[in-house]
Structure 1
Amino acid sequence: MTDARAKRIAIGARPPANPHAEAWIRQGDGDVLQKGDLYTARLTLDITPALRARIKVAAFTQGVTVAELLRALLEQAFPEDMP
């Protein structure tokens, strides 16, 4: 009877990186905007469950996320060139 804790399985060394594969994987990194690049502030708002449900249905109907819908509404209400 052997002790299971005494058995060790050797793990081989990590294979060397393929520079062509690494370049291919990272080629789109410069073109993709990250979430934080555009929207850096979080806004918390207390709303009723009924209003939340209506917002979610409206977003789904328009084929956008709730965040996208609310950002668009806020941009309309508070444009940059607002006095």
Structure 2
Amino acid sequence: MNRQRGKRTAIGARPPANPHAEAWVRQGDAGGLQKGDLYTARLTLDITPAMRARIKVSAFTQGVTVADLLRALLEREFPETSL
């Protein structure tokens, strides 16, 4: 067993806070959404690996995320209707 007695490694001082970074973190979402403006719910689907691959390739070629691609698809298929 290797013990080092009396030898301590100093931890550097905490860097000074950046007020611009702190303000950015406190402001929350940069898009200006307030809490409660957007609620999300997670949806889980079982799909084949081949289908998953096709979705990922399609999202990549369109330059969007898989989530954004699927949200747009679902929005087109199930538009919000005014009652």
TM tier relative to shorter chain: 0.5 to 0.7
The alignment status of 1:32 with 2:30, answered yes or no, reads yes
Q: Secondary structure at the match of 1:55?
A: helix
Query: Pairwise CA RMSD of aligned residues?
Result: 2.9
Alpha-carbon deviations, 1:30-74, whole Å to 9, x = none? 35258x974521110000111111101110010001001001111
Q: What percent of counterpart residues are identical?
A: 64
Could you list the runs of 5+ residues in structure 1 that have no partner in the other structure? none
Give how far 1:10 is off: 4.6
Q: How many residues align?
A: 75
Amino acid across the alignment from 2:55: I
Distance in 1 between residues matched to 2:5 and 2:48, nearest whole Å: 56
- Normalised by the length of structure 1, the TM-score is 0.66
Q: Secondary structure at the match of 1:5?
A: coil
